[in-house]
């Protein structure tokens, strides 16, 4: 059964734990936006995700982030700065950049320093860290865990082994274990497109 808040396991659309972590991140984004607006600040909010941007992408959409920095895309500091400046120019009182931790420790602090060179706006960095790994699971994670748990036991009773039970396109799937670590799970292109539209 796939369990990872990073949601980067090939062979399933969602891993157990991802929804709980994403909800934690969105709640934090909502709270931080309140203070960002009242103080007219730019916030860089770093979420977990290891080397994948699933958590940043989905929490960025749900939290209404203006910008996103994920390992799957090259970050242009100049472009990011210009888009943030444009938002402030048309009357926005704050901006949120959701940053996936990626491969580089402290990436959010680096981005904040670089953007500061282009913008005269006060910025802050918040690293959510292990806060995302704890707490009670969401309804979605509880139901997914139950669904996959029953499917895994049924697969074993039917004599199937060497596979991971997951959910793909709303259907149960049994992916060979070697594929789960040999193949890279791609980001959902529709969600990438939606973020681009909503953040424009």
Catalytic residues: 6
State the greatest distance between any 2 C-alpha atoms of the chain, in Å, as a whole number: 64
Parallel/antiparallel/unpaired status of strands 95-100 and 67-69? parallel
Q: For residue 70, how far is the Cα from the chain centroid? A: 8
Q: Quick one: three-class SS letters along 132-188?
A: HHCCCCCHHHHHHHHHHHHHHHHHHHCCCCCEEEEEECCEEEEEEHHHHHHCCCCCC
Nearest to 100 by CA among 33, 31, 51: 51
């Amino acid at each position: 059964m796939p369990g990872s808040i990073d949601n980067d396991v090939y062979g399933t659309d969602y891993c157990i734990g991802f929804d709980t972590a994403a909800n934690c991140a969105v709640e934090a984004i909502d709270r931080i936006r309140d203070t960002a607006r009242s103080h007219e600040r730019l916030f860089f909010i770093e979420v977990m995700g290891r080397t994948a941007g699933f958590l940043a992408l989905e929490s960025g959409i749900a939290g209404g982030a203006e910008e996103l920095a994920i390992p799957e895309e090259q970050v242009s500091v100049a472009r990011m700065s210009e888009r943030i400046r444009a938002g402030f120019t048309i009357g926005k009182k704050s901006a949120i950049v959701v940053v996936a931790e990626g491969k580089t420790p402290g990436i959010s602090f680096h981005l904040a320093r670089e953007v500061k060179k282009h913008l005269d706006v006060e910025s802050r960095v918040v690293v959510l860290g292990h806060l995302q790994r704890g707490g009670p699971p969401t309804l979605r994670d509880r139901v997914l865990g139950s669904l996959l748990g029953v499917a895994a036991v049924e697969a074993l009773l039917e004599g199937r082994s060497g596979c991971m039970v997951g959910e793909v396109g709303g259907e149960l799937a049994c992916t060979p274990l070697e594929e789960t670590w040999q193949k890279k799970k791609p980001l959902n292109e529709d969600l990438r497109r939606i973020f681009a539209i909503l953040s424009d």
